[in-house]
């Protein structure tokens, strides 16, 4: 357990502030908050649980931001929130039961995987927008059993680790035939809220969260969703994405050297 002094708490809060702003502009804020907690000395499982609980309040802002698009989504597509709830719980329970040593060795691969997903997010979203202009699909013809199974898989990953979950959800919605990127973002915000909400509840109930960090981080994440987003918009999405990608690849390399 790291020394819980003011510099540690301030560093954690600063990472959450950045994560909140990054999530509101580009997504991928977990790739900043989670490695920071590991760098501060928290065990990876505790860091993952703490980051999930701390950043979760910021997702409420995303739901509000896409409220108009959400009203336009089809009820059949919204039903995937049930598999999001189930998958978030399963993933959180898997994390709880994962031996600490095993998770430490998985973390570099998980961060690398999430960073690669984030790197290809831009081209994927561009393709989705191009499709949306020619083939506006709204989820009416989604085959529900297959959609629930696919979304369950993504949600389990989200409950277990979380970073990169949003781009996986966007990709799965595209596979299911949706192409309106704004409606897809609205649904992704709802699914992420469900996954992280259930996971956070289980992490709290099983005492996996370090409250010395999570409370200041939660406050900072909410503030960051407003304040840091403005700064991020001024410097541009490209700069924000490059920053997140750089952090992700750097942290995966550092952790590969640390655990292997």
Which letter, b or e, does each residue of 75-92 get, where b requires 16 or more Cβ atoms within 10 Å of its Cβ? Answer: eebeebbebbbbbbbbbb
pTM beyond cutoff 0.85? no
| Structure token pair of residue 27 | 């997504």
128: which 2 tokens?
Answer: 């989705």
**Which pLDDT belongs to residue 2?**
47
Q: CB within 8 A of 182, min separation 6: which ones?
A: 66, 69
Q: Which residue has the tokens 């989604």?
A: 142
The angle, 0 to 180 degrees and rounded to 10, between the axes of the packed helices 165-175 and 100-119 is: 60
In a domain, 173, yes or no: yes
CA distance 174 to 15: 31
Average pLDDT per run of 10 along the chain, which is 260 residues long?
A: 74 89 72 89 92 84 75 85 95 92 87 81 65 52 81 93 78 76 80 91 94 90 71 65 79 80
Residue 1 belongs to a domain = no
Number of domains in the chain: 1
Give the pLDDT of residue 122: 66
pLDDT the model gives residue 134: 46
| SS3 category, 38 | helix
Given this model, what pLDDT does residue 8 score? 92
- Residue closest to 189 by CA, chosen among 100, 92, 80, 99: 80
Does some domain include residue 87? yes
pLDDT number for residue 27: 66
**Is residue 145 in a domain?**
yes
Q: Which domain holds residue 228?
A: 6-259
pLDDT recorded at residue 20: 80
Residue 160 is assigned to a structural domain of this protein: yes
């Amino acid at each position: 357990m790291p020394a819980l002094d003011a510099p540690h708490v301030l560093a954690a809060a600063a990472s959450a502030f950045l994560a909140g702003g990054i999530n509101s502009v580009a997504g991928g804020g977990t790739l900043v908050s989670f490695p920071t907690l590991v760098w501060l000395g928290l065990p990876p499982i505790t860091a993952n649980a703490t980051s999930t609980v701390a950043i979760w309040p910021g997702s409420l802002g995303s739901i509000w931001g896409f409220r108009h698009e959400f009203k336009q989504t089809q009820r059949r597509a919204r039903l995937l929130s049930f598999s999001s709830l189930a998958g978030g719980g399963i993933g959180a329970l898997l994390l709880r039961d994962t031996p600490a040593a095993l998770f430490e060795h998985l973390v570099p691969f998980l961060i690398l995987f999430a960073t690669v997903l984030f790197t290809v997010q831009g081209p994927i979203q561009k393709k989705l927008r191009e499709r949306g202009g020619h083939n506006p699909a709204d989820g009416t013809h989604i085959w529900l059993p297959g959609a629930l199974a696919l979304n369950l898989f993504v949600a389990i990953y989200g409950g277990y680790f979380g970073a990169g979950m949003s781009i996986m959800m966007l990709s799965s919605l595209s596979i299911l035939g949706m192409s309106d990127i704004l409606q897809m973002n609205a649904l992704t915000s709802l699914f992420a809220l469900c996954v992280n909400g259930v996971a956070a509840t289980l992490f709290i109930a099983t005492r996996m969260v370090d409250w010395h960090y999570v409370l200041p981080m939660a406050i900072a994440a909410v503030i960051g969703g407003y304040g840091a987003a403005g700064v991020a918009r001024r410097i541009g999405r490209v700069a924000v994405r490059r920053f997140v990608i750089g952090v992700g690849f750097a942290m995966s390399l550092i952790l590969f050297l640390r655990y292997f």
